């Protein structure tokens, strides 16, 4: 018996965009996610995860990025999760788009009493949904070939998940990631609410700059795009990311400053082909 329920499906580039729902144990709520199933091929599809940014749901990327065309061409199965638990009651919620709260899960596992029951996005993405995708689509995908990328908060999540899961993903890239959240006022506020205001070590375990600087595993490439006209450029700490990678010889940073581009989906759609083809090199070889 399937553990997921099909909500919708649409043909696109000879494959299918599908939306599913399921009961999440790690988040203690019902969740939705999108996938793109590429056209049938003689070889199983590789899997590419996209983690979205603040305020987004599972719908933004699949609808706006233009990724489907290139996923179809490269036999890539896309997975687009939501960015936080949904349909729950948060006591005394904060009305801030930067979080904490809905659309602002930061891909971490919360430890404070207020949030620890539901806000466990790291476990949800890296274990629960990962295992669910492998089980439900085992006849379609290569369960040993997963890669990950993301935008903004999702770029933060992609980098931290890639490093912290020890080889679960074959490659990683990011659009304009929140690179140093413990040095950014609005992301640090959410970290304090999720992880405790005094527990600085717990903040660092989800900080890409800290993880990259201290990484001591197998060498890897990291492609990062950043728009020069990004309205959040000072908050994203792109310079800190470059410095952290420069200090670690095991990381080959492919940093691309894109002149005149901002933080939105017109920017993402301009360079999405590069990211899909970048991951395809690692997934399909």
| Interatomic CA distance for residues 285 and 274, integer angstroms | 17
What residues contact 219, with CB distance under 8 A and at least 6 apart? Answer: 249, 250, 251, 252
Fill in the DSSP letter of residue 109: B
Residue of 230, 275, 279, 280 marked active site: 230
Question: SS3 of 135, please?
Answer: helix
| Interatomic CA distance for residues 32 and 133, integer angstroms | 13
Residue of 45, 152, 160, 173 marked active site: 152
152 catalytic residue (yes or no): yes
The closest alpha carbon to 104, from 154, 54, 60, 151, belongs to 54
Q: Please state the separation of Cα 114 from the chain's center in Å.
A: 24
Residue of 118, 146, 210, 263 marked active site: 263
* Predicted local confidence at residue 238, as pLDDT: 97
Q: Please state the separation of Cα 41 from the chain's center in Å.
A: 26
pTM score above 0.85: yes
Structural domains of the chain, with CATH: 5-283 (3.40.50.1820)
* Predicted local confidence at residue 1, as pLDDT: 55
pLDDT in tens, the chain (285 residues): 579 999 999 999 999 999 999 999 999 999 999 999 999 988 999 999 999 999 999 999 999 999 999 999 999 999 999 999 999 999 888 888 888 999 999 999 999 999 999 999 999 999 999 999 999 999 999 999 999 999 999 999 999 999 999 999 999 999 999 999 999 988 999 999 999 988 888 999 999 999 999 999 999 999 999 999 999 999 999 999 999 999 999 999 999 999 999 999 999 999 999 999 999 999 987
* Predicted local confidence at residue 167, as pLDDT: 94
């Amino acid at each position: 018996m399937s553990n997921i329920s099909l909500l919708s499906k649409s043909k696109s580039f000879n494959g299918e965009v599908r939306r599913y729902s399921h009961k999440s144990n790690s988040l203690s709520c019902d969740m939705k996610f999108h996938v793109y199933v590429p056209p049938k091929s003689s070889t199983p599809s590789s899997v590419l995860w996209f983690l979205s940014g603040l305020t987004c749901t599972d719908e933004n990327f699949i609808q706006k990025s233009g990724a489907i065309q290139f996923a179809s061409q490269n036999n890539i199965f896309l997975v687009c999760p939501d960015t936080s638990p949904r349909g729950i009651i948060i006591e005394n919620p904060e009305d801030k788009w930067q979080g904490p709260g809905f659309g602002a899960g930061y891909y971490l596992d919360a430890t404070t009493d207020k949030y620890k029951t539901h806000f466990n996005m790291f476990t949800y993405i890296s274990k629960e949904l990962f295992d669910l995708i492998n089980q439900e689509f085992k006849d379609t995908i290569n369960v040993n070939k997963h890669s990950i990328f993301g935008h903004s908060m999702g770029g933060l999540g992609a980098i931290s998940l890639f490093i912290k899961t020890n080889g679960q993903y074959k490659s990683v890239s990011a659009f304009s990631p929140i690179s140093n959240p413990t040095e950014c006022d609005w992301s640090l506020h959410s970290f304090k609410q999720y992880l405790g205001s005094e527990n600085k070590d717990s903040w660092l375990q989800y900080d890409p700059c800290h993880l990259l600087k201290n990484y001591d595993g197998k060498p890897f490439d990291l492609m990062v795009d950043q728009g020069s006209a990004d309205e959040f450029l000072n908050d994203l700490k792109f310079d800190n990311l470059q410095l952290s990678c420069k200090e670690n010889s095991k990381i080959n940073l492919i940093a691309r400053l894109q002149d005149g581009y901002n933080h939105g989906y017109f920017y993402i759609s301009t360079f999405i082909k590069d990211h899909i083809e970048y991951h395809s090199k690692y997934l399909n070889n």
